[in-house]
Amino acid sequence: MHPSFLDARLDFGREARKGIPEILLAETKSDEQVVALVRTLLDRGGRAIVSRMRESTVTRLTSEFGEQHVNLRREARAAAIYASGYRRPRSGGHIGILTAGTGDIPIAEEARLIAEEMGCEVSVVYDVGVAGIHRLFDPLHELIEAEVGALVVAAGMDGALPSVVAGLAPVPVIGVPTSIGYGAGGRGRAALLAMLQTCAPGLVVVNINNGIGAGATAALIANRLAAARRAACEPASSATHFDEHFDEHFDEHLEGP
C-alpha cells in the first residue's frame, strides 16, 4: 500500500521547539493535498504557511478559506492562512531585506513573509544593486540606524551586492543568490559562487532562490537579539520563569504529539 498525503507527518511543534513554523511546499503537492494539509494546520495551530504555489493553488485557497483569511504574497507565490481570531506573534525583532534588482523581489518577498510570520518587523529596500551603487548608501545607513538584527540580501547576475553590504554593515548578512541571469553561470550559479567566494567577513549564503531559509535565519537572529534585550531589562526572576517555560515546551514537543 502506497502512503498518501494524509500520512504526512506535519511538525506541529516546530515553532515552539525552535522558533520557525511549519511551512508547506505547494509545488510538490496537488491543490487538494494543499487544502487538506492547510485545514490540519489551521485546526491545530490557527495558521498555515504555504510556499511555491501555482496560480490554481492560490485560487483554490482563497475560495476555500475566504480572502479575508489569506495573507497572499502573489510575487512570492506564498501565503499565510489564518483561522478566525488568530493573531500573528510580535517578537520585537527587526530585520532588513535588500535586493539588487526588481527581478529578485519574488525571493525577497518569500523571505519577508516568513520573517513576519516569526514576529519580526521587516524593512525592505529594493533595486539597489551595484550597477547603480549610489542607490544603496542612504537606505543601508537608515537600516543600520534602525538597529536591525540581520540583513537579507538577494541578488542574481554577478551576485555582488551581498559582499558589498557585508563589507559595510555591522550585523550578520545572509546572501540569497537568485536565478536571475543568463548564459555562462546563469540561473544563479555565478551569483552563488561569487557569494561563497566573498572576502567580506560576516556574509553567509543560502542556496539559490532559498528565500524561506534566508528569512527564517535572519528572523531567528533578530528574535534572539530582541529576547536578550528584554532579558537585560527584566528582573532575574522573569528570565528564570521564561527558561522554565521554554524547557517545559521544548521537552513536550521533542516527545511529539
Pairing of strands 94-99, 70-73: unpaired
The model's pLDDT over 107-117, given as tens digits with 9 standing for 90+, comes to: 999 999 999 99
Mean pLDDT for 55-78 is 91
- Structure-block grid coordinates of residue 41: 494546520
**β-bridge mates for residue 204, sequence order:** 174
How much is the CA Rg of the chain, to the nearest whole Å?
A: 19
pTM of the model: 0.87
Could you tell me what percent of the chain has a pLDDT over 90? 78
C-alpha angle 99-101-104 in degrees, rounded to nearest 5: 65
Single out the residue of 202, 203, 52, 137 nearest to residue 192, CA to CA.
203
Q: Is the pLDDT of residue 232 over 60?
A: yes
Average pLDDT over residues 213-241: 84
Residue 81 Rama label (left phi>0; alpha psi -120 to 50; beta): beta
pLDDT in tens, 31-45: 999 999 999 999 999
Asked if residues 211 and 110 have their Cβ atoms less than 8 Å apart, the reply is yes
Per the CB < 8 A criterion, the answer to whether 148 and 94 are in contact is yes
d(CA 82, CA 85) in angstroms, rounded, equals: 8
3-state SS string for 205-256: ECCCCCHHHHHHHHHHHHHHHHHHHHHHHCCHHHHHHHHHHHHHHHHHHHHC
Per DSSP bridges, beta strands 78-82 and 121-125 are unpaired
pLDDT 10s digits, 146-178: 999 999 999 999 999 999 999 999 999 999 999
pLDDT at site 237: 53
Q: For residues 74 and 120, what is the distance between their CA atoms, to the nearest angstrom?
A: 20
Confidence of residue 71 (pLDDT cuts 50, 70, 90): very high
End-to-end CA distance of the chain: 25
**C-alpha distances in angstroms, 37 versus 11, 55, 81, 145?**
12, 18, 12, 41
Tell which residue, 176, 174, 173, has the closest CA to residue 156. Answer: 176
